[in-house]
């Protein structure tokens, strides 16, 4: 069957990147798109060592896809990619394994059927279908009562979205060594930059997987609301609340990358960290859109 298959892995933001690249390739070839969910079965209950157990997180979005999970569960994608690099002649011809973190135009030269294996963390993969991606990820099916009230509050002010990513970046030594953390000084500099560009009164809405830490440690020069109404299983609601803000100071996180990319204000400004990874092996030049500011 001629189709594009995406091997999904990681959290919601990572899954969104993988879906968007695969959708662009499927659209180019006018073939169906299938999402393979095997990775989530393979790593269930095996958190640690830099790999955090996750769930398939794209079901709240109305995506034109089929879903499949293979049995028995295979190895996680990162191990498969290493295997293919060591034994390239034995790799399946129909599998495209992402060769580097940077954008690879060769993806769109592949014939179908093809299975995509990688993270594809670049907006360049889906530039040609950007409006489709915005439509598919931006329209809420439903919001909880608490999220609806927060959305009204966000829309009533000149809202700045601030995302503080901690979680396994703090608790898992391997994840911390690879990703690193954005310091409080980064957020101060980001807000100072925004204030230098506009005089309108602003209010900060802080999204974090560690809201208590934010309350105890983050002191901002603007009114601050900590958005802690949604748990991990409702991350899509936080995404929609983020996107409703005007401006953004994001963490080194795919979640806040997507929240800011989906933001629709015509004069939005996005501040992103200059150093996306603590580990410098990844070249991030194709990750951040050119009109975003890196500090």
Residues 229 and 184 in one domain: yes
Could you tell me if 178 and 111 lie in one domain? no
CB 254 within 8 A of CB 14: yes
Q: Are residues 65 and 147 in the same domain?
A: no
Q: Are residues 206 and 102 in the same domain?
A: no
Rounded to two decimals, the pTM is 0.88
Instruction: Tell me, yes or no, whether 119 and 147 share the same domain.
Output: no
289 and 153 in a common domain: yes
| Domain carrying residue 97 | 4-134
Q: Which one, of 254, 250, 205, 247, lies nearest residue 230 by Cα? A: 205
Shared domain for 67 and 170, answered yes or no, is no
Q: Are 52 and 185 part of one and the same domain?
A: no
Helices (H), 198-227: 211-217
Check whether residue 38 and residue 55 sit in a common domain.
Answer: yes
Choose among 140, 117, 134, 192: nearest CA to 162: 192
Cα separation, 8 vs 155, in Å, equals 33
How many structural domains does the chain have? 2
What pLDDT is attached to residue 141? 77
Of 8, 101, 118, 18, the closest CA to residue 54 belongs to 8
Which run of H or of E encompasses 159? Answer: strand 159-164
pLDDT at residue 90 in the model: 38
Where among 109, 134, 159 does a domain terminate? 134
Q: What ranges in 64-210 are assigned the alpha helix state H? A: 77-86, 130-138, 145-155, 168-171, 173-179, 184-197
**Res 46: pLDDT:** 56
Please calculate the CA angle 59-62-65 and round it to the nearest 5 degrees: 80
CA distance 64 to 208: 30
pLDDT at 70: 60
Residues 114 and 48 in one domain: yes
Q: What is the pLDDT of residue 87?
A: 41
* 103 and 179, same domain (yes or no): no
Q: Tell whether 160 and 258 lie within a shared domain.
A: yes
pLDDT tens series, the chain, 295 aa: 899 999 999 999 999 999 999 999 999 999 999 999 998 887 765 555 455 668 999 999 989 999 887 644 444 455 455 444 544 443 455 899 999 999 999 999 999 999 999 999 999 999 999 999 999 999 777 899 999 999 999 999 999 999 998 755 444 445 444 455 678 999 999 999 998 766 667 899 999 999 999 999 999 999 999 999 999 899 999 999 999 999 999 999 999 999 999 999 999 999 999 988 877 778 899 999 999 999 9
């Amino acid at each position: 069957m001629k189709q594009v298959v995406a091997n999904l892995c990681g959290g919601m933001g990572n899954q969104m990147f993988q879906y968007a690249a695969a959708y662009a390739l499927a659209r180019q070839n006018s073939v169906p798109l299938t999402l393979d969910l095997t990775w989530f079965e393979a790593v269930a209950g095996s958190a640690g060592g830099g790999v955090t157990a996750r769930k398939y997180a794209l079901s709240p979005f109305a995506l034109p896809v089929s879903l499949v999970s293979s049995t028995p569960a295979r190895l996680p994608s990162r191990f498969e990619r290493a295997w293919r690099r060591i034994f390239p002649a034995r790799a399946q011809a129909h599998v495209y394994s992402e060769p580097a973190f940077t954008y690879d135009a060769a993806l769109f030269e592949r014939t179908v059927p093809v299975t995509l294996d990688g993270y594809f963390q670049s907006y360049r993969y889906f530039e040609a279908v950007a409006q489709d991606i915005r439509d598919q990820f931006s329209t809420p099916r439903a919001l909880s009562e608490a999220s609806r009230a927060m959305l009204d509050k966000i829309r009533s002010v000149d809202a700045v979205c601030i995302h503080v990513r901690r979680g396994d970046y703090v608790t898992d030594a391997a994840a911390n060594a690879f990703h690193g953390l954005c310091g409080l000084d980064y957020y101060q500099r980001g807000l100072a930059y925004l204030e230098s560009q506009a005089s309108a009164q602003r209010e900060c809405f802080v999204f974090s997987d560690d809201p208590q830490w934010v309350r105890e440690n983050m002191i901002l020069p603007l009114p601050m609301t900590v958005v802690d109404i949604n748990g991990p299983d409702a991350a899509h609601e936080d995404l929609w609340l983020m996107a409703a803000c005007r401006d953004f100071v994001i963490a080194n996180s795919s979640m806040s990358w997507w929240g800011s990319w989906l933001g629709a204000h015509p004069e939005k400004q996005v501040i992103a960290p200059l150093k996306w990874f603590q580990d410098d092996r990844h070249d991030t030049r194709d990750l951040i859109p050119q009109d975003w500011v890196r500090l």
